[in-house]
Structure 1
Amino acid sequence: MRQTPESGAEPLQNVRPSPRLLAPFATDPGKSRGRRIAEPPSSTRTPFQRDRDRIVHSSAFRRLTHKTQVFITTEGDHYRSRLTHSLEVAQVAGSIARVLSLDEDLTEALALSHDFGHTPFGHEGERILDDLMAGYGGFDHNVQAYRIVTRLERRYAHFDGLNLTYEMLEGLVKHNGPPSPDGPFMAEAELEDLDLTSEASLEAQIAAISDDIAYDCHDIDDGLRACILTFEVLREVPLVATVIDEVDAEAPGLVPVRRTHEIVRRLLTRMIEDVIAETIRRMARAGVATARDVARHRGRLVAFSEEMALAEKALKRLLYRELYRDSDVLAAREKAGRVVRELFEVFASDPALLPADWRVEADSEARRLRRTCDYIAGMTDRFALGEHRRLVGGTPDLG
């Protein structure tokens, strides 16, 4: 039987999200500055929970399923895509935020959306679009993520974008540090209501370093699976060599897939625990006690220790040399770049080929080309290949 207030049920309008015990230096959802377009508060979710949920339900999030991480998505079902990478970043980030008593919802929302602005075919697609748009502001995937959540998503009746909280928007803009006065973000409209000079929140800093952790560890997994990396090559990095030796001593004779997983998960644990310990040390040294102290502090508080930072840089150098610059990977990227370039040229030369809701009146060439760039940047790998076959032909095989 349906309950009524008279029968003892509490009216929904009186329900409020249960408060969490957050550290005083956390970003408090109860003190959120709100949203650009005012909305009634939710009776069951905090503002940052709503941000996270809007991100998960967005079209941009779904498109990450078929966007390249390192390996073109046509190459195999088990390699990571932008979506699986983003989920892994969110897991790492949430683990760190939980230990530090920070807001996990804001942290996870930032992690889940950090790659929204990536083009089809990974960094190669970004490089091509940046080159093609050089005379019109260029292209930057972080700026594009901001454009998506403030303008390009069109799902709601009363606003474009997702109408995320100011804390979320500032986290997207500043997660790699306050933007440079002459950087790509400065060409964006609607930045004047954001605090761009202070340091990013701890939640945003965690999302940023979690991206590095997930990238490093899981690219090892994908590189070994693709038989581009080998265990012996990975031994060139002392940190990885130590972990390999530890795994081999504890569980000799493991088949490669189990050996790989054990190595990767232990590397993840080492990096996560190092960040937590170093962050606590830095906050204590700086006397950080409140969220305001975090904003006023100059420099990163969430970071690797000096020893781990050196190890992580050594691992990145090895991955760049052995994986990202592998001849087969580079050959696939070159073909993918050609697809992006030729698609842009086709749509730029004949805007009528764009879907009706993507066409704009040609009041300026810059606006028309930016619209073309936005459309291509939002494509998945497979959609871009399909459009290239339809409009250009001679589409290269990227597998």
Structure 2
Amino acid sequence: MHASFQPTQRSAAACDAADLRGRLVSEDESAFRSPFQRDRDRIIHSSAFRRLKHKTQVFVEHEGDFYRTRLTHSIEVAQVARTIAGALGLNTDLTEAVALAHDLGHTPFGHTGEDALDALMKPYGGFDHNAQALRIVTSLERHYAEFDGLNLTWETLEGLAKHNGPVTGALPYALAEYNARHDLELSTHASAEAQVAALSDDIAYNNHDLHDGLRAGLFTEDRIAELPIIGPAYAEVDLLYPGLDPYRRRHEALRRVFGAMVSDVIDTSRANLLAANCGDAQAVRNLGRPVIAFSTSLWAKLRQIRDFLFEHMYRAPPVMVQRERVTIVVNELFPLYLSRRDLLPQRWHREIDTAEDETELVRLVADYIAGMTDRFAFQEHARLTGADILRDAT
């Protein structure tokens, strides 16, 4: 008989909504939602979150209906993050908010679009999707009467800014701009909840990129069965369900890979939290090392999987062809908007007219391009240049 689920006792290291460090603009909190639930809900209802449904994860949106997009990826990350946080006794609502928002700053065409925009923005402080996510939730979302952005809690903003670790040295422009007026303590680690969101990102994309790569025919199941974690998962499925339908076999194997990653993070992090003996969330930030982690052995195996995906998926010839095409789109749209500001929507004109310097003006163009979906970027490029990248490629 299987053991039934037992709720986990709250960890002393968890962020507590009762100890909230506030919002930049003071608000009365909700009578029936916690501050972090409210953050999560504002993120879900934001325009930037909706646009993720038409933004590239690995495959550009027009390549197929079954591949992950930034939206489905973000939802999967949030599901994993909430599971891990719950098992560790952390604040699941804060974890979910950070996970859902972590990719809001992505450009069209995923990391390829980001690389192109970063190169174009080098003279003006560069472009970084994590910093852009912060810019979106603190400035670019403009729906509320009393403030720009979503006015999220300090804890959620901190998680967005440094879920991958302390941010030191030369800061991305958007991050430096906001941190100057609302100190996010960038030199320390983020909360345990934000650390969970970061590792959940790794778990989600390692798992779903295997799914998508197989569906795209970039590699075979026999080939990935040679990899650690994956090979034993397929062997277990074949032992339990001989002759299983190929699609069910794939799902059963990869869900075991998924489970192995999640279980490892929970077990390793539970031991780390116990050893660190952090009395509160601030102690986690000041610890000087992350408390949420994979075990050394599993991390070594994941590196082999990631190296395989890099070679056979992220740098596969069909993917590289698309990378070249979409880079052209970004490289040609940017100077067009910069030289012809009348091409931007009317509601952007007031800010363009009141821009204080060239950097601020160029930033507005970058904001506009970064906010585009894949399909809109293709449409705008075709409309403004007369060249149809998709049609000409066929």
Range of TM-score over shorter length: over 0.9
Is 1:340 equivalent to 2:333 in the alignment?
A: no
Q: Give distance in 1, aligned partners of 2:171 and 2:231.
A: 39
Deviates more, 1:225-234 or 1:140-149: 225-234
What is the letter of the counterpart of residue 123 of structure 1? H
Letter in 2 for 1:321: E
Which of 138, 141, 148 matches 1:153?
A: 141
Q: Give yes or no for the alignment of 1:394 onto 2:370.
A: no
SS of equivalent residue, structure 2 residue 177: coil
Instruction: Say whether 1:379 aligns with 2:372.
Output: yes
How many equivalent pairs are there? 380
Partner SS, residue 297 of structure 2? helix
Query: Equivalents in 2 of 1:292, 1:68: separation in Å?
Result: 36
Contact residue 220 and residue 229 of structure 1 kept, 8 A: no
Aligned equivalent of 2:163? 175
Which residue of 258, 272, 276 maps to 1:282?
Answer: 272
Matches within 5 A, 1:325-336: 325-336=315-326
| Correspondence for 1:5 | none
The more displaced of 186-195 and 353-362 is 186-195
Does the CA contact (< 8 Å) of 2:105 and 2:136 recur in 1?
yes
Q: Which residue is 1:14 aligned to?
A: none
Q: Are the counterparts in 1 of residues 265 and 293 from structure 2 also a CA contact under 8 Å?
A: yes
Q: Distance in 2 between matches of 1:289 and 1:267?
A: 33
**Aligned partners of 1:111 and 1:125: how far apart in 2?**
21
Aligned to 2:179, the other structure's residue is in SS state coil
Residue 136 of structure 1, CA deviation: 0.3
Structure 1 unpaired stretches of 5+:
1-19
Structure 2: distance between partners of 1:393 and 1:258: 45
Q: Structure 1 182/37 Cα, relative in aligned 2: closer, same or farther at 3 Å?
A: same
Structure 1 distance, partners of 2:228, 2:90, is 32
Deviation, 1:153, is: 0.4
Separation in structure 1 between the aligned mates of residue 254 and residue 386 of structure 2, nearest angstrom: 41
Alignment partners' CA distance in 1, 2:135 and 2:366: 12
The offset of 1:170, in angstroms, is: 0.6
- Secondary structure at the aligned position of 1:160 is classed as coil
Aligned-residue offset at 1:256:
2.5
Q: Deviations along 1:248-304, whole A, 9 cap, x unmatched?
A: 111122232212211221111100000000001112222333223212211111000
Distance of 1:55 and 1:139 partners within structure 2: 22
Task: Report % sequence identity.
Answer: 51
Give the TM-score normalised by the residue count of structure 1.
0.92
Query: In the alignment, residue 260 of structure 2 is paired with which amino acid?
Result: R
Please tell me whether residue 22 in structure 1 is matched to residue 15 in structure 2: no
> Which residues in structure 2 correspond to 1:1-399 (within 5 Å)?
22-184=10-172, 188-192=176-180, 193-359=183-349, 360-361=352-353, 363-397=356-390
Partners of 1:391 and 1:21 in 2: CA distance: 58
Q: Does the aligned pair in 2 maintain the 1:178–1:199 contact within 8 Å?
A: yes
**After the TM superposition, which of the residue ranges 235-244 and 134-143 deviates more from structure 2?**
235-244
- Cα deviation, residue 336, structure 1: 0.9
Matched to 1:384, the amino acid is A
How far apart are residue 236 of structure 1 and its match? 3.1
Instruction: Specify the alignment match of 1:7 in structure 2.
Output: none
* Aligned counterparts of 2:175 and 2:73: Cα–Cα separation in 1: 29
Deviations 1:63-111 (A, max 9, x none): 0000000011101111000000000000000000111111111100100
The 2-side partners of 1:317 and 1:59 are apart by 35
C-alpha deviation, 1:186, in angstroms: 7.6
Whole-Å separation in 2 of the counterparts to 1:109 and 1:97: 12
* Pair 1:186–1:141, CA change in 2 (3 A): closer
For the aligned residues, what is the CA RMSD?
1.5
| Contact 2:134–2:175 (CA under 8 A) maintained in structure 1 | no
**8 Å CA contact 1:37, 1:159 repeated in 2:** yes
| Distance in 2, Cα, partners of 1:113 & 1:260 | 30
1:317, distance to aligned residue in structure 2 (A): 0.2
Cα drift, residue 246 of structure 1:
1.1
Structure 2: distance between partners of 1:162 and 1:213: 28
Counterpart CA distance in 2 for 1:243 and 1:169 is 38
Contact 2:269 2:293 in 1 (8 A): yes
Distance 1:326 1:199 in 2: 35
> What amino acid is the match of 1:34?
G
* TM-score, structure 2 normalization: 0.94
| 8 Å contact from structure 2 (residues 191, 282) kept in 1 | no
Change (3 A) 1:325 1:183: same
Point out where structure 2 has 5 or more consecutive residues left out of the alignment.
1-7
Q: Distance in 2 between matches of 1:252 and 1:123?
A: 40
For 1:363 and 1:286, locate their aligned partners in 2 and report how far apart those are by CA, in whole Å. Answer: 48
Per-residue deviation at 1:363? 3.7
Does the 8 Å contact 1:179/1:185 carry over to 2? no
* Alpha-carbon distance in structure 2 between the residues aligned to 1:282 and 1:185: 34
Deviates more, 1:227-236 or 1:62-71: 227-236
CA contact (8 A) 1:30 1:46 kept: no
